[in-house]
Structures are given as structure tokens and as C-alpha cells.
Structure 1
Amino acid sequence: MPIFLFNYNSRQLHGIFRAVSDGDWKINPHGWVGNTSRETLYPSQVQVEVYSKCPPLDHADYNQIIKNCYHQEGTGHRNKMMFELKKVEAQNLCRAFDRAAGVVNANSRPQPVPRSMPPAGVAGASSSAAPALKPPAAAAPKAAPAAAAPRPAPAAAAASAAAAKPMENGTAPGAWEVMAGGKNPKAPVWGAGAEEAAAEPVNNAAPATSKAAAAKEPAGPSTPPATPKASISDPVYNEESNSNEVTSKASTGSQSGATPGASSQRTSSTPPVAHQVNGASADLEGKLSAVHAAVSAVDTAAADALWNCLTSMTNQMQSCMRENAMLLHGMRALKVENSILKSEIANVRRDTSRVGAAINLEIAAESPALSNIPHTFMGKRIQDIFLLGGHNGGAWLDSMHLYTPAYRSISDVGKMPFARGYGGAAIIGRSIYIVGGGDGASWLQTAVRYDIDTKEWFQISDMENVRGSLAVAALDGRIYAMGGGQPGINHDSIEIFSPDVNTWAPGPKMAASRFTTAGATLGSAIYITGGFDGSYLNSVEMLDPRVGRWQPVAPMAHKRGSHVCTVADQDLYVIGGWDAKDYLAGVEIFDVRSGGWRTAAPMAAPRAYGAAATVDGSVFTLGGMQSQVHNETVERYDAANNKWEMQTVPVPDAVKRAFLSACVADAY
């Protein structure tokens, strides 16, 4: 493969070189730098040798030849260059270098150096590794000879190749790039592939004019090997050259003393006409026989190699198929075992649910001292979801139930002071606060506190405004009651309760009035979503008490009210609701880190006026209603697989409620 070196600084093209190694990474790890403590800035390298030493080409000399190698990167950027050349471009560049060197006939170009080294003892031979890439110095132009220019013998060419030493650090005149002709880096060039088959190169001997002249030549074999070699087609110039022509004894005569290191011309070894006529047939027959033998050997070797490769691939494929069959069999067995284990786990959970519920009741009734010890199950703290009030389709409720996801159990833990729905609930420490709401006949501004440990109810101060279908959240030991109202009245105000002084105080107003809204605490801020102010909203606001005002955040994709909110893994979940047309099953998740929303898988059952809670990192939705039908189901969101799962509920009637309030507390 011909290779040309491009100097970025001078914009000159140098040649002609050829590769003596495959392209590799950091062949010279310190090339083109000032000292060995730094690594090269040009790690993609190839080792080359000089094929034909020519003066460099200026930009005007090669620009039209490689004009198709230029391309633009984006609008307004200057031309960039692709360094892979097509065959015709490489041919034209070689001819341009020949013209620059004054070569008038392509046959007079120096012949390629065989990759096998010359015999030991030949002048200029080298057994060292191929030199690393080095930018060549420009050679002085050669005068065009009147006759065909002499071709250096392979030994002399090898000596010039060996003279190309690895580049010393810091000597490069600029940044160099390699331009390679052709797309196959391993394709033989200028006969190199065929010449590698020879153990030693066969050299054409120049005629010796006298014994004295012959004595000046370096010592070498007295006669070259007589094995004929086939003609090699030059892939760049599309010409044929006999790189290892044979000189018979009849044609050498007094030239038998010529040495392998002597250079020769194409016409210098031509025998007399009589010898040519007499030996033409024999030479041609010998060459054709050699060609046929070489082709047969190549075909046979290639066929054997291909057959061996196919046989190996077939064996490997059969082995893979056997292993795959074994894996499939093992997977089927695992599926059966998994099904059995799931059934057993379900049985254990049902038994544990019953036992856990019984133990909770016994501890609460008989051992009050033990009720302050947190419950754990399989190393995890057990948490309960409190279901408070609501409507079951027949009546407004004053009942309280505990749903324990770890046991999938439902427990009745008493009654509230009065029936209530449309309210909001939040927890601070071991106290649950229930704020506002209504009972269908009246709307409330009252609030109560429930002590989880003593199971006692306490009346706290009333709010300033009547608020039903409001949002309630706890932050920094205070309760925030936001929005809500009653039919015909929608609030944009909020009130903040301080338990230590038992008083409500007004807070900063929201940008919009929000009835049937929902919110939650995320980090150090409170978020409020959607709602109704005459039409349903998709806007969202955030309150950071340190800032002291509401700030807008990215809106939801869907307008909704009567929905629920919860927080899991630092994400805000907005679930279900009503948009004046449909009950919704859709779920949107707000990522506070990116400030954007994404859509999650919808619930199995649409629901509005339900409840949501997060236990052990999992989001649960409970109750609610759809088209006047009250749900008695519980769903859990599997975030890893983005799907909702129906949960087994031992007492469905306890979950069958809408307009309820819910909060989470540790089980004791």
C-alpha cells in the first residue's frame, strides 16, 4: 500500500512510502514530543519505509488529485480532509511524485524492497525491526535521464529502508498525518506479497566492464538462484515488472562475477537476440508452469483453510446449541420451582397476616409497655397506613383502620370523635393531625390530634377559614393547610399550625385558587398540584419556607383534580383524579433534580378521591371511586418494572371508602 505523509504546517505532501507493519496504537509512545516524560499526541501510528524518495508536493500540485477527499463539517467550517485514498487517487499521486522527481517512465521507478531481508553479509542489510513512522526530508529533484533510469537492487533498497530510523523526540517539523492508498491495509503492494514467498531475493547483475570494476563491488554469491519467478502486477501503476528476473549462464558470460549489491537497468541484462529467440519458448513455458503451480497451491491452501474454518464453526455452533438446550431445560425447572415458592410464600403471608394482626391487638390490650418497641419483619421496620374516615357508598365514616403492607393485614383501631370526609391528614412525631373536611351536610374548619401511643383524641384550635378538599402537609414541625374551600368558594390562601403554641397563622398566598387539590412535602419544600378554580388545572407550585413565597414549577401534562400525591425516592408522584370528563388512572412523576415530569404506567383501576402512601420505598394507592362505584382495592407500584400490582386485602370492606384521609406511621 502506498503511503504519503501530510505536513499540517507546510501543507506539503511527502512520498513515496509503504507500510511495513499493521496500523497500531502508540508504536512510539513518545513520538513528536519534546521529552520522554510526555506521551505522544498522535497515538495512531504505522511503521513505514521509503519506497521512492521524491521531492514533496505543494498544495497546488496535489489539490486537484485529492479534491474528493475534502469535506465540510457543518455550516461555515473550513474544509476538512479524509486521509483514505481511492486507488485512482493513489495512482495519480504516484505519477505526480514521479514527475516531481524527474522520472519520465514508470518502468524506471525503483523496485519495491522485499519484506524478507537480504542474505547476511550483504552491504546495507539489516535485521532490526521496522522503523517507526518518521516525516521524510525533502529530496533534491532528480534530472530526467535520457534512457531508462537504473533500478536499485533489492539489497540496496533494503539498505535505504533500514536507514529510516525511528523518529527522535521533538524532531518533527509539524503535525503529520498518513494518507494511505486503497482500503485494505494488508493488500500486497508493488509485488511485495509475491516477493515474500522467496527465502532470499534474486538480484539482476549489472555487466562488469573489467575485473577491477568487479572487484570494487561487495562480496556476494557468484551466481543468482536460477529458479524462475512470475511477473508481478503493480496495483498502483497497473504495470507488470519482473522483480526477480533470471539471468542465464549463456547470457551472463563474463558477467558471472557480478554481485547482488550492484544496481541494474531494465535493458542492461537483456541477452543477445539469438539467445532470446532460442530461449523464449523455454522461459515462457517455465514461467507459465510456475504460475500454474503457484495458483494451484494457493487454491488448495485456501480451500483447506476455508474447510477447516467451516468445520470449526459448525462444531462450535453444535456445542452452543447443546448448551442452549440445557439452559432451556434448567429455566423450565426453575420456573416450576419459582411457582411452588410463590404459592408457599403467599400461604406464609396469609398466616403471618393473621398472626400479626392478633399479636398487635394483644400487645395493645395486655402489654402497653411493649407498644413502644418498633415492630420489625425480616430485618425491616414495619409501617402502618392509617385510613381515616371517608364514605363507603352508604354512609360517612368515623372509623379508623390500619393497613400493614408487610403483613397485608387490616386492623380496626377505633373511631374518630365524629364522621368526616374531604379532610387532610399529616403526622408529626407520634401524633396524627386531621384538618378540615365535611360530612356532606356541613363543611368544617375544625382540626383534631390523635396520639398513636395513648390512642387519645385532642381538639386543637380551629382554622380561620372553612376548608374541605384541601391539601395538608407537615414540614419542620408545623402543619400546612393549603387551598380547599366549599362549593362556590375556592381558596388561594394557606394557614400554618404551630403545635407548641396551638395557633394557626396565615401563610403566603398561592398563584391560583385550588379546590380538590393535593400536595406533599419533598425535601425542604412543599409542592401543591392541580385542583379546580372554575376549571381543572395542571399547574404546580412550590413553597420553600426559607424563601417565603410560592414559586411556579413545570406543569403536569394532564389537568386533574380529586387526585392524590405522595413522595418516593425523592420523586413526587401525582396519581389518578378527575378531569371533568373521565376518572383517571394515569400517573405522573416529578423529578426535582431535573425539574421535569415523566409518565409512569397507569394504575389497573382508575380512581379519584382515594388515598396514597409510601411504605418502605413503595407507593400504594387505596380506595377511591370510579363512576359512583367505591373501590375496595389496593395497588402497589413496582418502580423497577414500571407496573402496578394488585394487593391481597383480607378485609376489603375496610378499604372500600372514598374522600378519606391517610398517613403513615411506624408500627409499635
Structure 2
Amino acid sequence: MGAGRKSHAFTLEDRTPSSFATTKSSAIARNLRKENLGGVIFGCKSNTMKECLTKQIFGLPSMHFSYVRNIEQGLPLFLFNYSNRKLHGIFEAAGPGQMNINSYGWTEDGSDRTPYPAQVRIRVRMDCQPLLEEKFSQIIMDNYYSQYHFWFELDHAQTRALINSFSSSPVNATAISLPLPKVKTLFKAAPNHDTKMEVDHRPSVSVQDLNWSDQPSMVVRNLGGSQPLGGTGTMDEEETMDEEEAKVYLKLQQIALDRKKSDFPLGVSPAAVSGPSMIDDVQMEVGGASIGPSFSADKSVEISVDSSHLDSVIAQLMQGMEELKNFSAEQLKKTGALEKKLVESEMHIQQLNDRVKKLELKFGPSNGSFDERSEGSSDSQPITEPVEVCSNADESILVVGGYNGVSWLAELDSYSPSRDVMRSLKPMNSVRSYASAATLNGHLYIFGGGNGSSWYDTVERYDPMSNEWTSCPPLIERKGSLAGATLDNKIFAIGGGNGDECFWEVEMFDPALGRWVPTRSMLQKRFAPAAAELNGVIYAVGGYDGRDYLKTAERFDPREVSWTRLPSMNKRRGCHSLAILNEKLYALGGYDGTEMVSSVEIFDPRMCSWMTGDPMNQPRGYSAAAVIGKSLYVIGGVYQGEDILNKVERYTEGSGWEVTNLKGIGKRCFFSTIVLK
């Protein structure tokens, strides 16, 4: 996908339909197939980079999971620091991409849910200097969709070029920092004022011999000063050691053994500077240090220390390491127990919530606890508050996909307004919003829409008898915010758009053909229209044509094999709902180009005219409507900007609109609803 191609973004700031009229933000993903994914760039800032590297987890917002889930162990990864516009590498995936590996990462105190749940565990493949944007941007030029923004997915050619570019950058003290858990250990021994520590240029031990390429940095310090062996840092004994620190201790022990075998004995150098004993106070620091040695890699350096005392220090270090390992195991055990209790508590809370709902169904909704109502006074009366019912309690509303303010959803739920109960069914194969739904032969079809970063052409079918989803032949075009209807045992996908253009095309799925075929196009382009079938005719109402929100409406009669223009509504509207009640079409709410509206207009086909209906209590768009019995329900939607509604309104002829106290669905928008008959 070229840098110039753009698609409508799914940022929450741009979710009002006016974004289609005024902006065309670029999509956040190239949507490469799994076999074409060569690597992934993750983002961070200077204040979050340390946590990324310390915990060895990279994360992105949930909308990026569409490609993070394609990450497999060993896939090359890179880390882009937005603060200084530098790219760090080379990392690789230590496991598959998943959601919520660390559910509380990158939050201020670890108590809030992470804003970056699309995560992968990482490890360092090669320690290299970071690349400036002026260098790496030439390699991933096709990923840039604006001056400062680029897609994070890399194809194989881009990944190879980045790896080659990083590999040409030598490691030094300014290489990528990989902070480790900090542990502080202080060892004491009998003073030996003759022992000194010296660094000179005798050729007995070289930096190359130390082979620090995959080890964290280390400092051995005495009271007279410190000699760096590859960076500086501090330790805190409350935290745990990991495998990298174990390698440091093993390397130190190996150095001592090698020195015993060398031609140059480990003794006191004549040129040593006198000072207090190293053994008097030896402190080793690991953590917050750069990978690799801090001195030049092309110089040979000798560490001259009394052998017996060095052996003593190593023994104490190894003993301290064992103690810290035991402490780490104990902490992990405690953490596991706490996590188990948390899960049990959440399950218990859910059970209590279910219990409360059952009690409310039995005794009626309460304003206080059950105990308060039954025992609050000696003269308490029987509870007679009515339970909300509809005329046909056997019917329920299928609620499909959408967005709840936190995540894009793949959920399919069955909602009963009479009981205000939501029952989870088998979810779709992928998250899906801005889609359309229709029924055919007792099955639910969901088609088009998107996953928060790109539009779909995919189609899924749900069988309520088996509670299973099946993939179906795809649409001809990728599109979202389209409308759907069923007519003459065929499904029609009407209008919509892909971020670059609005469509007037109509696609038809014929089960006999087993595929989608083009059929007669509408008279007008319509993005985010509403459509419905009534008495053998399809009606398409409102929407956005790329310039204006529309008042217009048209209908398709298969006997005429064409679309016919109808009288226009009184108000412009898009992303609205269209429902059929008592042989009339109800156009509900939507966006008029300036704001969400609460107005309702009613079309009577027998009169072929629109009339103004009672307005809803709450302006809303991207909501959903369903009719059960003699009641029309409007559910969820967006009020303005990021305000996602959890209010359900109900309309009955003669009584008007009322705001119910139904809360079973919760906050939801950009979703589809349908009633299976």
C-alpha cells in the first residue's frame, strides 16, 4: 500500500460522521497478511521506554491487535521512541502477540487497565545503536501516510533492510538501555589494606575476551573509587533477579578461572594506587545500564586483583544470588496466589450481580438493597413494583459487534428487554464494527464493517440452532457504514464507503449463485445510510454523499428493476436508524452535518409522504433500533464526541417515547441489531 493511499481512521475523536465530511485520517495499519508480515514496529515515549525494556513487553492500543495477533515467536521487532524520533533494535518476539499479557502496564500506579493491551513479549536479538528518522524513514518510505506518521507493519523486504542497517551500527556505551530488576547486595570481609584494584593496558585480558555482547553492565567498586566493567546502575534488594543477572555472576566466575590459567598472575600491580580495600565494601550494580561495556571495544584492559580475595567475593556473590532467587520464587508464588484470588473475586462479583438481577425480576426493581426493603420497617408492605415487559417476551434482540468505549468487539449477544438480561452467544471470528446485518432462511448474516483500522469485505453467517459462525463468500468491495436488507430470498448490501469514496453501488447475495453480484445502483451516493424492506420494496434513506448529509430517500422495487426517488425528509441525517412499526418507516436520530439530533420522521408508503414524529429524549447517532411486538426500542449510540450512551428508549404509538431503566446492554455504538423471527 503506497504512502499516498488513505482510509477513514477509527480514532475516537473522529467517530462522529462529520469526520467523513471534513477529514480523511490515515488508517493505522497496512493490514498485511500473516505470511507477508516481516516485522513490526512498536511505539513508546521516553517515559514509557524503560518499562517496555524492563518488563520485556511491547504494547499498542487495542485497535492494533488486527496485526499484533499475527506476530509469532522469533519475528523481528523494533521500538520507535516518539520523544526523540529514534528507532531502536533489534528485538524479536519471545512469544505470540496476545491481548493483555500485562493488564496494568504503562499506568501511573498499576491500578488502571492498560491503554496498550495489544502486547507481545520480547527479547534482544542484537544490541545496536538507534537509527535516526532521517535514516530509517528512507527504508520504510512506503509506510508514511503523513509527514510524521507511518504504519507499523513491515513487509519482509523492509525488515531485511532495517536489520542490515542496524547491523552496521556497532554497540557502544550509548547503545539501547535494557534496565533489569534492581538488586543491591553489600558484602563485607576482613580488611586487607594491601589489596588494590587496577586497570592498565597489559594484554592479559581483553574486552573481546570478556564477551559482554549479551550481558548487562556491571561495576566493581571499592572505597577508593570504581572501575566500570560496562555501565553503571543501582540495585534494590526488594526486587528480583532474572536470567541476565545470573549470566553476569557466571561470567565473573569464569573470568576468575581464566585468570588462574593465564600467564599473568592476579596480583597487586606495582602501579596500583593505594587506597582502602576493595573487600572492605564491594558493591555490584546491575540495572538501568547500557548493554555492552562502557569502555572502548578496541582496547585490551586488564583487571588486576588479588586472587584469593576475588574468589571470596565471587563466593559471596553466588550465595547472594541464590538467596535472591529464593526470594524471587517466593514473590512469584505470592503473586500467583493474589492473581488467583482476583479471578475468584471477579467470578464471585459476577455471581452476585446475576443473583441481584434474579431477585429484581422476582420482586421488582429496587432503590436500595433487598434487606433494606424487606427489613427496613416493621410495617413494610409487599413489593408490588412492576417488571418491564413487552408484548412478546419470547422474542429477543441479537446485538452484534460494535465498540464499548474500550475495545472493538466480536461479541454476539441475545438481549431480552422484558428481563433486561444479556446472554452471550458464540462470538464472531473477528472484531467487527460499522457493519450491516440481515436475516436469510433463519440465519443471521453480518457483512462489511471494520476492525478499528481497516474496512472488511468479509461475510459471516450465524446459525442459532448450532450456535456456530461460518465464513461466507466475500463482498465485491471492502466497505463500512453500509446498509442491508433482505428481499426475495436475497441479501442486499447498500451503499457505504471505504474512506476514499462513498458508494451508490448495491451488491446482492444470491444463495443459488453462492456469491455476491452487482445489481442496480442507487440514484445517489450514500455513506452511513439506513435501509429496510417493507411489503416487497427496499427503502434507502439519508446518508452522506461525500459533500453533504442528505434529506433524500429512494426505493427499489424488483418488479420495476430500478430505484425510484421518493419525497425528501425534512431534516438531513446520516448514521441514523430505520425501523418499521405498524407498516410505517421510522427514521431515528442521526447526524445532520453539525450535531447529533433527536428528531424522528415517519414515512407512510400509502400516503407517500413524511411527517414529523415525537422526538427522542436523547440525541444520538450510530445507535441501533429493533421492534418487538408493539414497541420500538432505540439502543446505545454516540451523543457527541466520545460520549457513548447506555440509555435505552422505548416508543409506543399513542404513548410516545420514554427513557427506560434498562441497563443490560451497557455502553455500545457502531453495532448492529436484528430480531430473528
TM-score, normalisation: structure 2: 0.42
Structure with more contact order per residue of length (Cα contacts < 8 Å, sep ≥ 6):
2
Larger radius of gyration: 1
TM-score, normalisation: structure 1: 0.43
